[in-house]
Chains A and B, each alone.
Chain A
C-alpha cells in the first residue's frame, strides 16, 4: 500500500517537473523560515515549480530529488540590499566598470540597467557565498582619488537581480532611487551638506510640480525648471510613493534631515549608512523608516560617523526600526556575501539571532518589495542549505537553490584553488583545468 502511494506521488512529481523545474525535498535540516512558523529544529522543505510548497517536520511526500539536510541549516537565500553586481568587474579598471558616470549631468535619470552583465565573475562567487538576489545601485566612483563631479546628488535608478547568472536574471526594475545627503552629498553639491539638502528638496519639489503639470511642461508652456525632464520622470515613482528613495546619511542630524524631507514630500525613505542611526532610533521608528547599515563598521572614520558602534543594529532593532545589513564597505561589492559575517558580529553585540537572519534576507525583501526572504508556503524557492550556522565564519553553503533550481557553487576562486593546490615547478599546471 505504502509503495503505491509513493509511486503515485513520484509520478505526480515527474509530471510537475515536466512543466517546470524538478521537485526537491530538503530533508531534516534546522529550518529558519523567517515567517510565521519561526525556526524548526528538524523539518523538511518541499519545493515544487520553483516555489516552497510545504514546510514542516517529517513531511510524507516524495520528490524528484532529495537533499539530506540532517545536521545542516536551511534558510532563505541571502539578499544583498546594496551592490554593484554586474556593473563592476575590477574596481580600479575603469573599462570594466559601469556603476557611475562622470562629466555628464545625469542624476536621477541615470539607468545602469543596460550595462548589467550577468556573466560577471562576482555573481558565481557571491552565489557560492549564499547570496541568491541583490539590489544593484549606481554609485560614485572614488577609486582614482579624483574630485567627484558636482551636481549629481542623485545616483540614479536601480534594479534587482537573481544570482543565477542567466541573461534573464533581472528580477525587478526601478526598485529604488538613490540620493546623497550628509558628507557625500556635500562633496557632490559644491561643499556644503546644506546645498545637498537643498538640491534633493528642489528635485522632489519639481518632480511634484511636474506630476501635476506634466502636459503643460512638456508643451513648453511652463516656467523653466532646474532639473531635466528625464530626471523628473525618473523621480515620479518616488514622489508617487511607488518606490523608495534611498538616501545616504550617517550623521544623526543628517538622518533627521532625510526624515524631514521624506515627510514633507510623502516619500518612502530608506536611510543607507546610518552609522549614527542608534542616536535617532526612536525618530526612525516613529517615521517607519528602515535602514541599510554596514554593521561591522564601528570606526569613527569620518566626522559624520563619530558615533559608529557595533551594537547599532541591536539598538535600532530594539527601537523598532527595520534593519537590513549590507556587505562590509571595506570588502567592496566583490564580497557582498560577507553581510552574514557582519550579521554574526551584530548578534555578538546584542542583535537577536533571528532578527540578524532577517536583516540579510526578509527585511531586505520587505524594504525593496522583492521576492524571497522567507520559507513559507508559496514563497519563491531561493534557499540555502548551510554546513552549519549561517552567521558563523566557519560555515558555508552546501546547496543553493534559486527559484527551485540547484545552482553551481564553482567559482574562479575554487578553480584557481584546485589548479594550484600543490604548487610545483614545471609546466604541468597549465594543462590542469
Chain B
C-alpha cells in the first residue's frame, strides 16, 4: 500500500480505465481492477477545454450525411447540452433554441484532420516558427507536439471555415520516432490546453522511408538506409519493453524506484495500449514490415499516414485492422510518392480497411470535402459504387476511429459531441460553402455573421492597423 501510494504520488500509476475513454476499455472490464502504469502521463498538461452552450440548436429539414453510412433527407437535428440530442423528423425546438433553416442545406459531422501541423508549422512560415521537427536525433520520442503549438496560428480559423472541428497535430517526419502528437478541438485558445480534446488518447509519430534516412544518413549517422530505419525501431522497442518491465517489476515487487525517461514513457505508453501509433509510411512493403514490427513487440499501429501505396496492401491493412490516411492526388515529390493512384482511398475502403483523407497542409485542410469528392470520383471511375453517404466517413468517422475518439465524435448519432457542419449544399462540390460550424453545440463559425468568425491575435492590425487580415 505504501508502495502504491508513493507511486500514485508521482502520478505514474492510475486505474487502467479511469481517465481513458478508449473503446477497448469496454472489453477490458475484467482487468479493470488491475492497476496499470500511466506511462502516457495523461494528467501532465490537462485539457482546460470548455464550451459554454448558451442554447440548444435545431437544424430543420436538412439533408444529413450521418457518417454511419446513411443519407437522411428532410431531417431535423437537435443539439442540446453540447451533444447530439436527436435525429429525426418534425422535432420540436426547445425554448430559446437557435433554429437553423436547413432546407437546401446539407449537414455532416465536423471534419477531422488526422494529419496536421498547424501551430507547429504556422503561417507565416519563418525560420523562428519552424517548431515541428526536432531534427537532432532519430529517436525524439520524448518531445510532445503540443509544446510547440502556437495557438494564434491564423491557419486554425481558416481550417474552421473549411468545416474542420478536430485536428491531430503531429511532430514532423524527420525522425524514426518524432514524438508525441496531440488532438485539438479547433477553437480559439490562449493556451494549447484550452484546445486539447478532452480524453483523447495521445499518439506517437513514427516515420518510415526516405525522410529519416535522408536526414541522418546525410549527417553520416544511422539510419542511412531503410534497413537502418527498421533496426532503429526494433532497438528502441527492445529498450521500451525492458523499461516497461522494470516499472512493472517495481510496482509488483518494490525496491528502488526506477528513473523516469520521457522518451521511454511514450514508447511504453504505446506498449500498454494508451498511446496510438501514427506512422508516416508511403510504401506497401514498408507498411507490411511495420505491421510485423508491431507484432514482434505486441503493439498496434493505428494508422499509416501519407499511405500513397496503401492500395497495394489494402487486404493486409484490413486483416490487421490498421487504418490508412491518404491524399486524393499528391504525388511525385519523392520516389516513395511515385506510385500514386487517385483510386487509393476507394480501393482501401472497398477492401474493408479503414480509409481516410488527410491534409498535411494549411491549404488542403480547408478543402478536405473537395479532396474527398475527388477520391470518391476516382473510386466510381474504377467501378466502385461509392456515394456521398459512404465517402463522408473518410473525413469524419474514420479519422475519429484512427484517433481513438470514435465514441465521442465523428458521426451524427445521439449522444455524440455536437460537432456539426452545415453546408450550403452538397459538400462534395467545389461551389459549396461551409455555412456554420458547431463544436460541442456552440456556434464557432457563421459565414453570414462576421462576429462569429474567429480571428487569431496575429490577424489584428497586420495589414491595416485599424482592421483585420482579410
Contacts and interface: CB of A to CB of B under 8 A. Distances in A.
What does DSSP make chain B's interface, helix, strand, loop or mixed? loop
A417 B155 contact: no
B131 interface: no
Interface stretch (B238-246, B250-258, B361-369): B361-369
A273 interface: no
A424 B367 CA distance: 33
Contacts of B429: 392-394
B342 A413 contact: yes
Nearest to A309: B470
Nearest to A311: B470
B210 interface: yes
Interface in B105-158: 123-126, 154-155, 158
A296 B363 contact: yes
Interface in B382-405: 382-383
A332 B330 CA distance: 8
Interface residues of A, number: 50
Nearest to B426: A394
Contacts of A414: 341
Contacts of A420: 311-312, 314, 341, 347
A364 interface: no
B275 to A, nearest CB: 29
Interface string A295-315: 011111111001101000000
A331 interface: yes
B6 interface: no
Interface string B223-253: 0000000000000000000000000000000
Contact of A302 (B125, B154, B351, B431): B125
Nearest to A252: B463
Contacts of A413: 331, 340-342
Interface string B353-391: 000000001111011001001101110011100000000
B335 A90 contact: yes
A296 B367 CA distance: 10
Contacts of B459: 300
Interface string B453-470: 000001100110000011
A429 to B, nearest CB: 8
B322 interface: no
B357 to A, nearest CB: 12
Contacts of B462: 300, 306
B397 to A, nearest CB: 21
Nearest to B332: A334
A421 interface: yes
Interface stretch (A48-56, A155-163, A337-345): A337-345
A302 B333 contact: no
Q: Which 5 A-B pairs have the closest CB atoms?
A: A344-B430, A334-B332, A417-B341, A393-B373, A91-B333
12 contacts: A93-B335, A279-B463, A299-B123, A299-B155, A302-B125, A307-B469, A332-B330, A348-B431, A348-B433, A393-B374, A393-B428, A422-B347
Interface of A: 88-93, 121-122, 143, 279, 296-303, 306-307, 309, 328, 330-332, 334-335, 338, 341, 344-345, 347-348, 391-396, 412-414, 416-417, 420-425
